[in-house]
């Protein structure tokens, strides 16, 4: 039976906990006395507590994040009621800053702030020897990455077969964007490249197919970036998928051309734009060259098979609804496959808090601490944007409505002057058109979740024919095309009378 159980509640099953695997791999002589047990947010706190206590551990190490802190607090409360003798050690970004007022920190026995790769093992040695540190909080110094045991052997066969494999070639970020905790990190540090590549080779040999790099700025070190991309290009095979977070204005020609050599669908680049408003970007200490950013995204979209995932944040200090709308439209024109509309969160310790008074920033007191209102956007406006973000995920990002989505902001040919572009006839704004659809759908469905694909298809058909000016055969044709792309043939009943032959 293990003395140490490492655990967390992941956002979804497909996302494994890389941080816990670092702790496990670096326990040294304690490794054989430890076990990793993962859960997700769909599991009940009582069931989680039962599973954690079943092996009768002496120490439970729990990873706490913005997405799981509410449930994690309930789990710790239950654990301490049932087994007050079990030592609970917390770690993770959510408990690395502003620790004292947190309920979960008050319940736990110890907290490690910062990078706990080695500090957790040192604390466990003390605790198992019967020595209790005088201080509840241990501030972990950033470890020498060259001294860490890499954690990739801790992925088991089920992980490799059914989950993303999280990896990292570096830690830290040189930028100081105030909404991000990486702005507080030390300088960028690289893992020794030969050992890292050897680990990737071993993972591929074991059957790993889907890799997600968690580096904050993967293309910062262009030599390392190029080396790793060439490594995957040489080993390309059906089913391979590799995700990187890239700085959008840092793509020299050589890197763009290297990306173009990959088969379509292998690479996904997440590019954080966040705002197209230069004044807002400067206010939150974000630096980016917008002209170069657009040039790079056009190249990637038009001349490579890279899947582009681009991020925008609603609610930044000084960003009005009109300004955000203009940025959204600008991004739609660049045609990334996915646009993630995020709502600003006030992460614990993030410098964004310095704008609270000047811009009347009001955040939710409950995780994930999203902005509720500010000087530029009232609560009702931000609620509309939350709904837009959700419905955009269902319609624009899902890949289920590739042909149908643009019809929301385009006008049918019969209603525009000859030669006029479709988007110009609709006022030229995908944002305002989609926001109108969002308002209509919210009023019609009365919910944002638990909308089946068939029901959503029927809502789109109704909206586009009644509000958008499209004819039923035009809309049904687009929806049928989308269904066929997904490999489905079961058109909802309302569309069958307009179904065209295949």
- The pLDDT profile of the chain, 502 residues, written as one tens digit per residue, is 899 999 999 999 999 999 999 999 999 999 999 999 999 999 999 999 999 999 999 999 999 999 999 999 999 999 999 999 999 999 999 999 999 999 999 999 999 999 999 999 999 999 999 999 989 999 999 999 999 999 999 999 999 999 999 999 999 998 899 999 887 876 899 999 999 999 999 999 999 999 999 999 999 999 999 999 999 999 999 999 999 999 999 999 999 999 999 999 999 999 999 999 999 999 999 999 999 999 999 999 999 999 999 999 999 999 999 999 999 999 999 999 999 999 999 999 999 999 999 999 999 999 999 999 999 999 999 999 999 999 999 999 999 999 999 999 997 866 655 555 565 555 679 999 999 999 999 999 998 888 999 899 999 999 999 999 999 999 999 998 898 887 777 777 777 777 665 5
Give me the residue label for tokens 């706190």. 45
Q: Extract the runs of DSSP E, i.e. beta strands, from 121-265.
A: 137-139, 165-167, 170-171, 189-190, 210-213, 241-246
State whether the Cα torsion 314-397-278-323 is positive or negative.
negative
d(CA 181, CA 173): 10
Domain boundaries 155-377, corresponding CATH code: 3.80.30.20
Per domain, the residue ranges of the chain are 4-143, 155-377, 396-502
Neighbours of 416 (CB within 10 A): 17
Number of helices followed by number of strands (H, E) in the chain = 18, 16
Q: How far is 501 from 478, CA to CA, in rounded Å? A: 13
Equal fold, 4-143 vs 155-377: no
3-class SS letters over 447-458: CCCCCCHHHHHH
Give one DSSP letter per residue of 245-301, joined into a string.
EE-TT---HHHHHHHHTSPTTSEEEEEEEE-S-HHHHHHTT----HHHHHHHHHHHH
Q: Which residue has the tokens 């105030």?
A: 178
Start-to-end CA span in the chain (Å): 60
CA distance 235 to 164: 18
Q: CA 20 to CA 375: how far, in whole Å?
A: 40
CB 160 within 8 A of CB 134: no
Q: CATH says 4-143 is which class? A: alpha beta
């Amino acid at each position: 039976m293990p003395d140490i159980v490492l655990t967390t509640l992941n956002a979804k099953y497909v996302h494994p906990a890389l941080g816990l695997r670092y702790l496990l791999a670096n326990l040294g002589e304690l490794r054989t006395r430890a076990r990793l047990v993962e859960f997700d947010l769909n599991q009940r706190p009582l069931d989680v507590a039962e599973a954690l206590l079943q092996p009768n551990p002496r120490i439970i190490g729990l990873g706490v994040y913005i997405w799981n802190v509410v449930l994690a607090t309930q789990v710790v409360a239950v654990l301490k009621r049932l087994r007050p003798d079990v030592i609970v050690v917390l770690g993770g970004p959510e408990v690395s800053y502003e620790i004292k007022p947190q309920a979960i920190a008050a319940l736990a026995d110890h907290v490690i702030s910062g990078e706990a790769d080695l500090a957790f093992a040192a604390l466990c040695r003390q605790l198992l020897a019967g020595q209790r540190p005088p201080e509840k909080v241990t501030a972990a110094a950033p470890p020498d990455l060259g001294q860490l045991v890499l954690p990739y052997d801790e992925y088991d066969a089920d992980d490799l077969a059914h989950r993303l494999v999280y990896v990292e070639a570096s830690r830290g970020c040189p930028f100081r964007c105030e909404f991000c905790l990486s702005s507080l990190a030390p300088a960028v540090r690289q893992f020794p490249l030969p050992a890292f590549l050897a680990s990737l080779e071993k993972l591929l040999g074991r059957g790993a197919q889907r890799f997600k790099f968690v580096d904050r700025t993967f293309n910062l070190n262009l030599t390392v970036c190029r080396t790793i991309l060439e490594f995957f290009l040489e080993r390309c095979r059906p089913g391979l998928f590799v995700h990187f977070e890239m700085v959008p204005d840092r793509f020299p020609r050589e890197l763009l051309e290297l990306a173009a050599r990959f088969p379509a669908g292998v690479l996904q680049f997440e590019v954080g734009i966040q705002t197209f408003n230069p004044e807002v970007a400067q206010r939150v200490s974000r630096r980016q060259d917008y002209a170069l950013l657009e040039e790079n995204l056009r190249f990637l979209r038009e001349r490579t098979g890279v899947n582009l995932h681009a991020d925008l944040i609603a609610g930044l200090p000084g960003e009005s609804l009109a300004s955000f709308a203009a940025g959204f439209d600008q991004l739609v024109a660049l045609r990334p496959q996915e646009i993630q509309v995020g709502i600003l969160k006030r992460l614990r310790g993030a410098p964004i808090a310095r704008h609270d008074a000047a811009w009347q920033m009001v955040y939710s007191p409950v995780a994930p601490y999203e902005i509720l209102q500010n000087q530029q956007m009232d609560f009702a406006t931000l609620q509309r944007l939350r709904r837009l973000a959700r419905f955009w995920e269902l319609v624009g990002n899902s890949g289920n409505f590739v042909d149908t989505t643009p019809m929301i902001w385009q006008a049918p040919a019969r209603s525009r002057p000859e030669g006029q572009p479709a988007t110009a006839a609709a006022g030229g704004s995908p944002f305002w058109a989609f926001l109108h659809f969002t308002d209509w759908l919210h009023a019609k469905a009365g919910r944002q979740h638990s909308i089946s694909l068939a029901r959503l298809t029927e809502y789109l058909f109704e909206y586009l024919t009644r509000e958008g000016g499209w004819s039923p055969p035009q809309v049904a044709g687009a929806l049928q095309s989308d269904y066929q792309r997904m490999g489905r043939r079961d058109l909802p009943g309302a569309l069958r009378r307009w179904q065209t032959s295949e």
